[in-house]
Structure 1
Amino acid sequence: MRKTVACSAPYGSGGLGQHFSFIVEEARSQNTLAEYYTPRPKLDDSLGRNVQVSQRKQLLMQYSPLRYDLGWLTYFANDWFDRAVAAVLSPGDELNIVGAGQALHSFQRARELEYRILSLQADTSHINHVAIQNLKAIRAFGIEPSWLNNALRRKTLQAYEMADLIYVTSDYSYQSFIRAGIPESKLRTVSLPVHSRFTPASTHNKDGVFRVLYCGSLTVTKGIPVLLEAFSRLPGRNSELILVGGSTTHGMRKYLEAWKQRDSRIRIAPGDPLPHLQRASVYVHPSYQDGFAYAPMEALACGVPVVVTEDTGMKTFVQEGRNGYVVPTGDWEAILDRLKLYQSLHQSVATL
């Protein structure tokens, strides 16, 4: 059976793009890949189809009052890509969409083209659970709105209903779908690999700085305010917090700038996370919800211990006290306790 895959993330870019590239290459290795749709395919790949949202729509969003609403920005980015794929979709056997919010129109078109299987790669836990967790984060800090609005949530629920199969990436996600009433017969669990470039540093860093690292989107729902609250109470000038990523709202940018002014140990460093991972003392992933979370898995691959929340799907890979800890979601005091522990271990090693 030939598989057609689509995703609004560029091939290999970010967590969703990595997930997408894994699906594409797995199908290619099994000689079942028909073609794939994305805004930026793999270089010189004859099976990659470049799908772009029209410039008119991009300009419309750029100058619309809705550009200030993160929920609607996310909705339209997903919906317009979904419609663009539906408009050019070729006949096939199985359509696999990576990302539930961009599946509905493509699924509807695939039914018209008599696709035999509609499958969905869920990039989060069940969307109703995501809504609950996002609301907790927004209520706790109120810095920016959620990326998930009711329109996107309803559209995602429709895609769940249409899908013949839903692939999830962790037991955490799996259980959220079961609790929401999705039948087990519809669910499949897949394992996601870490890219081979994520390896420990060849030489040990001896500058004595205790480095706390986070990689990913700098948002309220990723728990960035929780991490800042914890780190700000960590003693010692020879410590630093490095946030590798970017923010998408004015409120969060102001919030981060205020923290940087308050505590000179905080740095924001967009770019490749690998050099930072290879120098980190501990990686913290304070998210309110992640179906899997590549970044802490990449940290483990680099030999860096991790502190993750109970709402992070990769938590099953954490061996308490050996390669990291799992802490209650939204609890800065629990994160601070673990940071103090790793800081103490770091200082002990530095004196040897």
Structure 2
Amino acid sequence: MYKVFMGCIAGVGQGGLGGHLNFVYQSVKHGGGAAHVFTSSPSSSSSDGINKIPSPTWNKFVKYTPMRWMPATKVYWESVYFDREVSIQLAKMPIVYHSFPGYAENSFRKVRGAGGITVLEAATTHVSELYSDTNEEHRKYKMKGSPFHKLWVERVMREYELADYITVASQLQKDSFIRQGIRPDKLLFSPLGVNTERFQPVPEQSSLIPRAKGEKFRIISVGQVSLLKGFQYLLEAVKMTEDREIEVTLYGGIGWRSIRNLILDYMKSGIDIKLGVGDPVPALRNSHLCVHSSINDGFGLAPLEAMATGVPTIVTDSTGMKDAICHGVNGIIVSPRDAKGLAESIVKLKNDDNDRIRIAKAARLATTNYDFRKCVAQYSEVLSPIWKSNGVSLAN
């Protein structure tokens, strides 16, 4: 039996990044190995297989102005600190070490120096394209700053060079890295999976029955409410419809004051907008349609979860999980930044209950190919040769 090491600032299964970590963690176990995790999650307790990285002493100050409104700087500081602390704790021996963009540079240098193997979980498209798309949106909406610090971007670029392998979960990601000069043989392809037991439809939920006359047409968008996720194009599309029966729920965290102000502007224009956080399953089951109007999303687990819950879903062709969609059969694919095209698709599904319900049922069926257990087995099959060739024996 072998041991695989991994580092992630989020705890196993906590949030988007933690969910990705859990996917890798379960894949190691599926392959017969043991996982050793470094994390700084407050809710993670130090135990066998878990090394808790303490929070930096300055962390208590970041909730105050001006740092609370400088998320990019905060993330950069956290990533450098976390990586440095992990690199100190890593034994100088030939291990296999998985980490995430921004959190790996020092650790990767140490692992490679000891003859080990480094695996970067890409999580996004190539960082240069991610950064470019983000800045384009911020310029367009006249928002200062960027969610990504330039020093963080440069750090990730160095990590690409230090990684022996980079895992990608979609064809969109793979194409992005190849476009930017990463060798194809360095990329390991394996899609992420969805928990189809947790995310499953129930009888008579809104998406699977005809809408009552005068009932609100409820659209949900799940994920971080940011310009990169494209919520602004959803709101603009709804505004174009001039249909007061449409209600939009933005289900996710809002990290920028200017984003809140933009949402308020759309509310003032007459759009019915609700905000939500927490477990999205009840909200999904109460929705007629999910829209993921992202500008750039390497995979997009949230819309896949919506499909698994039996909710018809519209995504952009800049969303990696479009791999799971056959346009017009089990979902709808639109162009990014195309509010008019999105509005037309929304109106069509609103006015055609039969088509909406047909797509909803097909969406659920399509996600069986992305069941978490099936994807864990696939990822394990792809990575096991690497883990077994250089994974530390449990005797060590």
1:295 to 302, 307, 329: 302
Change (3 A) 1:345 1:165: same
Q: Which moved more, 1:159-168 or 1:249-258?
A: 249-258
Offset of 1:96 from its aligned partner? 0.5
**Which residue does the alignment assign to 1:117?**
117
CA contact (8 A) 1:311 1:329 kept: yes
Change (3 A) 1:328 1:3: same
Q: Which amino acid aligns with 1:182?
A: I
**Which residue does the alignment assign to 2:353?**
346
**Which residue does the alignment assign to 2:137?**
137
Give runs of aligned pairs for residues 165-244 of structure 1, distance below 5 A: 165-195=165-195, 196-205=197-206, 208-244=215-251
User: Using CA pairs below 8 Å that are at least 6 residues apart, which structure has the higher relative contact order?
Assistant: 2
Q: Distance in 2 between matches of 1:224 and 1:70?
A: 19
Q: Distance in 1 between matches of 2:127 and 2:355?
A: 44
Change (3 A) 1:65 1:269: closer
**Which residue does the alignment assign to 1:93?**
95
Give runs of aligned pairs for residues 50-69 of structure 1, distance below 5 A: 50-54=52-56, 56-63=57-64, 65-69=66-70
Q: Does the residue aligned with 1:9 lie in a helix, a strand or coil?
A: coil
CA contact (8 A) 1:2 1:92 kept: no
1:283 to 257, 280, 290: 290
CA contact (8 A) 2:249 2:276 kept: yes
Offset of 1:349 from its aligned partner? 8.3
Change (3 A) 1:248 1:153: same
Q: Distance in 2 between matches of 1:275 and 1:85?
A: 38
Q: Distance in 2 between matches of 1:250 and 1:270?
A: 17
2:81 pairs with 1:76: no
Q: Distance in 2 between matches of 1:185 and 1:155?
A: 22
CA contact (8 A) 1:70 1:145 kept: no
Q: TM-score, normalised by structure 2?
A: 0.82
CA contact (8 A) 1:168 1:189 kept: yes
**Which residue does the alignment assign to 2:22?**
21
Question: How far does the alpha carbon of each residue in 1:154-204 deviate from its partner, in whole angstroms, 9 at most, with x for none?
Answer: 100100001101101111000111111111111101121101300012333
Change (3 A) 1:89 1:57: farther
Question: How far does the alpha carbon of each residue in 1:23-70 deviate from its partner, in whole angstroms, 9 at most, with x for none?
Answer: 01111222322411122376796322222322x221354457454333
Q: Distance in 1 between matches of 2:166 and 2:257?
A: 35
Q: Unmatched 5+ residue regions in structure 1?
A: none
Question: How far does the alpha carbon of each residue in 1:213-236 deviate from its partner, in whole angstroms, 9 at most, with x for none?
Answer: 101111111111111111122343
CA contact (8 A) 1:289 1:311 kept: yes
- Percent sequence identity over matched residues? 28
Q: Distance in 1 between matches of 2:239 and 2:317?
A: 22
**Which residue does the alignment assign to 1:157?**
157
Change (3 A) 1:212 1:82: same
Q: Unmatched 5+ residue regions in structure 2?
A: 358-396
Q: Distance in 1 between matches of 2:5 and 2:46?
A: 18
Q: How many corresponding residue pairs?
A: 347
2:49 to 36, 47, 50: 47
2:338 pairs with 1:337: no
Change (3 A) 1:92 1:280: farther
Q: Distance in 1 between matches of 2:136 and 2:222?
A: 22
Change (3 A) 1:146 1:292: same
